[in-house]
Chain A
Amino acid sequence: EIVLTQSPGTLSLSPGERGTLSCRASQSVTSTYLAWYQQKPGQAPRLLMYSASSRAAGIPDRFSGSGSGTDFTLTISRLEPEDSAVYYCQQYSSSLFTFGQGTKLEIK
């Protein structure tokens, strides 16, 4: 089973700044099968990025994804207060899914 480790655990930034969230896999992940989610308190998760770098429908272009192999990054440019949330990466390999433990993004 592939383990995903996200860093940092918590990220505190100001509006207008750029946020960079990392997701590292214990084994190589096919980029097609790497996704990112946003979860706000009391809400279900929302798909942000799929296939590492493709934005899901309705996601603003402030969100971008990159990476390959074992290292993937979610970048949020021009942070807004509404971006406060927990962000999760997820991978699919050998018919199994795993999630990272999450990064909490706080907008000061």
Chain B
Amino acid sequence: EGQLVQSGAEVKKPGESLTISCQGSGYSFTSYWIGWVRQMPGKGLEWIGIIYPGYSDPTYSPSFEGQVTISTDKSISTAYLQWASLKASDTAIYYCARAYGGYVGIGFDPWGQGTLVTVSS
């Protein structure tokens, strides 16, 4: 079935860089698309982008294009979400999630446990 385990909570200052991770286990990491989703405090879900590990360039939501970078390291079954310069408005929980059944677009399952990113001066 497989699972995704994300890196721990982060507290950063505005302008700092950050990379959070999402490690897949129990399945063939290179056979499933991985997506990232943001949830700001008390708000709904926002799709950030998606990548097919090791085989494709990521596709980003227009709202996040140029703001974050998605990548993978298939040698360690890990996906990454990266910021070059954080803003206070990046404060949120970030989830990674795997494409259900291996097919992009029909849904995401399973999900990682989420990584809380807090950006404050």
> CA of A73 to CA of B45 in the docked complex: distance in angstroms?
19
The answer to whether A88 and B106 have CB atoms under 8 Å apart is: no
Instruction: Flag whether B41 is at the interface (Cβ < 8 A).
Output: no
Chain A contacts of B15 at CB under 8 A?
none
Chain B contacts of A100 at CB under 8 A?
44
Binary CB contact string for chain A from 82 to 108 against chain B (1 if under 8 A, 0 otherwise):
000010101010011111111000000
> CA of A56 to CA of B107 in the docked complex: distance in angstroms?
9
Total A residues in contact with B, Cβ cutoff 8 Å = 27
Q: Which of A36-85 contact B (CB under 8 A)?
A: 37, 39, 44-47, 49-51, 56-57
A residues contacting B by CB (< 8 A) are 1, 32-33, 35, 37, 39, 44-47, 49-51, 56-57, 86, 88, 90, 92, 95-102
B residues contacting A by CB (< 8 A) are 35, 37, 44-47, 50, 59, 61-62, 95, 97, 100-101, 104-109, 111-114
